[in-house]
Structure 1
């Protein structure tokens, strides 16, 4: 009789321990807690994303990722940030063209 009552309770406890808690996510643990006011050179930045309540973060911000994989949090309202976002979007639309033909190294060799 005691086993009938104890077994479902043990199964429920095990399920609660094994299942992840709702609202806990890797993205939320990667949230910006404050923003930087420094200007970021566009040559250093490769991408950006927007964080806010829809991504599980309290602070609404732009998160830039540098070419060295560093994250920089910036304010959405900064004019410099908006200009940098437009610049990144323009680069995505029109990626730089690679030179065609022989490389400099090949041109210098004599056969």
Structure 2
């Protein structure tokens, strides 16, 4: 997966915005104002994803390219090194999982608003 495939996949999700709150090179995707993934757009060496703590631990054990979230809460975030060792279909699934995890944590009102978009 390259940066354009990553961007296109993330921005196509319902209620998603693309932002740069941490500087010019850190691209952040949010759903209803809540972050679910981010990446450096200049290097695109890795992406950070929100995870269920148990899933994150399992993925770190299974894949050497999956590490504790860089500059993030290590329990709730993972960093996936984009070295080609993880198939794109898994990365897309993990992006979906991250998105759904954030959506499930939204208020009922925000979830209802998201359905209307």
TM-score of the two chains, using structure 2 as the length reference: 0.29
Indicate the structure whose relative CO is greater, using CA pairs within 8 Å and at least 6 residues apart.
2
- For the pair shown, the structure with the greater C-alpha radius of gyration is 1
